[in-house]
Structure 1
């Protein structure tokens, strides 16, 4: 069986790591195509190096651009690759422009498509990720869902017959790296200047357009972070830096200390060292949950509803509208006493994915 993995952004590279390792233990051929959607070394190269992923077999070098330009460029560049390789499966990951472009290119060439992390829904159609994940689910042949909740969403949309509960591959890699950090196998994370990992601090990321593109909203969110009683290590995504510079907003002020995005092992170590997380990232919400660190999410909704139901995550759409004392109390609250359970699986999702692809080879379940 030949499987092509199409990836292009940081979260997809993290998910690729356990999938690549699972294929390495088989006789199947696994081809990695990197679209180049994330081309910054801190969002791409360090993940191949740090997570032991083989170098991409094909690098399309697409780079930045509007959603339409980026998606169209990936589509145009993928056609000859898929025509040449003729895989048994095209495996697409998550909800980025690379995801929908990979799925569309494959289905138009009548190649079976499997969508990893299928069935997630925020029900917020302002998010480009929501369009990407819904469209991908409805054109793919096999839907690899991470959770029971995702399976319910797929069934509600009439997609149950091509859905399989695989578990969440992010659990596989997160737990592996967590254990490596505990064993001293990874160096201490390069935290922003002014952050002492031995003392309480909050870890923060911010990158979604709804939070960064409006100057008044971005300034208000940074004001809220700057007023917190604990130091805030803000790992600044290139999107955030670019928007702040364009708006004339100073990120590093008050409690906020600005640093660069970390390699995955560094990020896991930083979460473990922190007192809690403030973010708008889907992936980091879940990683903090797996690592048992409280999270405050600056969004009105989340795809990872299990993190909220268990009390480990609280949604705060507009922190600047809260009473400052209530905002501070929210982000520094105590962790829930109850065990969060394992709603995202047991750390063997990648092995499940390979098995399910074998069972469904050709785009339909084999007898």
Structure 2
């Protein structure tokens, strides 16, 4: 059996990595399952070097489709054209897509038009915000894929409401958390740690990348100002995306406590999350990691596709309410933040359950059919 694994951006590889490890484990146990790793090149990242794949303990992709740049439509079209050629040259039994980037949707459509089954890892999550390209990608992918590997009961219920057959919904957990658990003992202290005299729980960590937060210079300036006012005299670590940094440079933002750094490799970034006083973010994935690590997390969005990080975890959704942000940061500073729990099946064994399910659906059924002939 051949599986094509699709990734289009750095977070996708963190979700794919444990699946690769689980496939290799299955191979060692005699399961006839192979994989081909396809990078669509959707997000160009100069830091996507051999060190990145070495940190995740996975091989470099079998092919990079090099579909970076362009508008949403141009990128979708480029991925579909090149991925179709890849599938025609290396036709798999199953395509696995993860997350909600453009590659997820584009590769799902392409595979289904070639009558190839598609499994969606992280299926069924929704923010309800149709202004987010990711929401469109989730809806389209889940409307045509064949297997739905879910991270939460919220996702299960949503899929049931959309009349997805029960035998297609597989509640397995969260592969992003598999990667987190697998690497916790290997996290690396960043090079700048001693330079800025950082210590455990003596700094805040912020990440901002949503267009609604960073594309408007006035909005970004205001956000950073309020964050700096609220965080007392604590250093604030800010890994800055190059596009965001260009806007910040234009604003000539300068705060003595604001430490702007390049985006960090995975092991260094998780080290920063592990040891921070609190996270202020607009990312979904970091809210999951913060929940598992029991780190207070404030999300600058009006909606989330990961409600379990709020109802069970350490995350709070505040939108644009700066007064609420000040209140939340005060709770963190006073060590009065809510105590969260880890959602069910976020136990580091998600990928093993996925591969076991694939073997059951594609290999065991074939054996059963042969035996009846």
TM-score, scaled relative to structure 1? 0.90
User: Which structure has the larger Rg?
Assistant: 2
Q: 1:84 is matched with which residue?
A: 89
Moved more, 3-12 or 212-221: 212-221
Whole-angstrom CA distance in 2 between matches of 1:290 and 1:133: 24
Whole-angstrom CA distance in 2 between matches of 1:187 and 1:328: 27
Q: 1:117 is matched with which residue?
A: 122
SS at match of 2:5: strand
Paired residues for 1:170-319 under 5 Å: 170-178=176-184, 180-181=185-186, 186-191=187-192, 194=196, 196-198=198-200, 200-227=202-229, 228-229=231-232, 230-245=234-249, 248-310=250-312, 312-319=314-321
Question: Residue 242 and residue 64 in structure 1: after superposition, are their counterparts in 2 closer, same or farther (change >3 A)?
Answer: farther
Q: Deviations over 1:152-198 (max 9, x none)?
A: 111111114321112111111111211x14xxxx4312347636134
Q: 2:355 is matched with which residue?
A: 354
Question: Residue 304 and residue 334 in structure 1: after superposition, are their counterparts in 2 closer, same or farther (change >3 A)?
Answer: farther
| Structure 1 residue 66: Cα displacement | 1.8
Q: 1:10 is matched with which residue?
A: 10
| Structure 1 residue 61: Cα displacement | 1.2
Whole-angstrom CA distance in 2 between matches of 1:337 and 1:93: 31
Q: 2:152 is matched with which residue?
A: 147
Whole-angstrom CA distance in 1 between matches of 2:4 and 2:346: 24
Q: Deviations over 1:300-344 (max 9, x none)?
A: 11122112113611112114x427853541553536564514335
Whole-angstrom CA distance in 2 between matches of 1:83 and 1:351: 28
Is the Cα contact below 8 Å between 2:277 and 2:332 reproduced in 1?
no
SS at match of 1:65: coil
| Structure 1 residue 95: Cα displacement | 0.1
SS at match of 1:173: helix
Is the Cα contact below 8 Å between 2:50 and 2:60 reproduced in 1?
no
Question: Residue 265 and residue 325 in structure 1: after superposition, are their counterparts in 2 closer, same or farther (change >3 A)?
Answer: closer
Consecutive unaligned residues of structure 2, counting only runs of 5 or more, are 369-373
| Structure 1 residue 41: Cα displacement | 2.8
Question: Residue 323 and residue 354 in structure 1: after superposition, are their counterparts in 2 closer, same or farther (change >3 A)?
Answer: closer
Is the Cα contact below 8 Å between 1:143 and 1:164 reproduced in 2?
yes
Question: Residue 190 and residue 250 in structure 1: after superposition, are their counterparts in 2 closer, same or farther (change >3 A)?
Answer: farther
Moved more, 209-218 or 132-141: 209-218
Q: Deviations over 1:17-44 (max 9, x none)?
A: 1011111122311100001112213356
Whole-angstrom CA distance in 2 between matches of 1:136 and 1:270: 33
CA RMSD, Structure 1 to Structure 2 (Å) = 2.3
Is the Cα contact below 8 Å between 1:295 and 1:331 reproduced in 2?
no
